[in-house]
Amino acid sequence: MRTEIMLKIKQQPYNSVWISADSQAELGSAFLRFQEFYESPNPDFKDKIFTVGQVRAWYSIKYGGDTYHHDWTGFNFPSKVLIPFKRGFFDPLTTQEQELLEFFKYRHDDFYIIGAQDKAVLRHELAHALYLYSSKYNSEVNKLCRKFSKQLEKTKKYIFEKGYSSDVLNDELQAYITDNEDEFIINNTPSTVIKEFNNLYERHK
């Protein structure tokens, strides 16, 4: 039976921590319920108690296969999401969930948790940490989203189609736009809008 720790942790900017794993599948297994509890588009999971099997069954029906761990390469959530897991509401925990919680059993402050296997994905997830950490950046991002609401229609539709809920729309917009990696966003978001978001990010990072 495997007993060694599969997850690794490093401190990051914006009061965040970066967790990686031996494989993408293990990372996805560790983060699946934390992430879905935090921002699932499915109301049966967001802020609810559920099993891993329930998520996998729903995901397989909606997206044509149990491919969650491969479709999602990065994860992020604020530390408050840990509370119901620490209190035992999600028992039994998976091995990976137990390992993740072990990192934070003595922490009760507010911080941000990121899951990623490489630095390109980490860059995207750090934008989420900045959005939560800096109230000024958060406010200015929201202003840009309102200012460019019409110009961002295609981008917003794309974000929703990827499986995000409306609660995190502005956060996802700023992260996807400023990581400069997504071809759809590069080709369907006006360059002037991308430039303003990137300038804002550079001023605050």
From the CB of residue 191, how many other CB atoms can be counted at a distance below 10 Å? 8
* 23 and 110 inside one domain: yes
pTM of the model: 0.91
Reported confidence tier of residue 5, pLDDT bands at 50, 70, 90: low
Reported confidence tier of residue 4, pLDDT bands at 50, 70, 90: low
* 14 and 60 inside one domain: yes
Domain boundary among 118, 142, 164: 118
Domain interval for residue 38: 7-118
Of the candidates 134, 139, 141, 138, the one whose C-alpha atom is nearest the C-alpha of residue 177 is: 141
Q: Go through the chain and tell me how many residues it has.
A: 205
* 96 and 192 inside one domain: no
- 60 in Cβ contact with 19 (< 8 Å): no
Assigned token pair, 84: 């119901």
**Helix or strand run (H / E) with residue 121:** helix 119-133
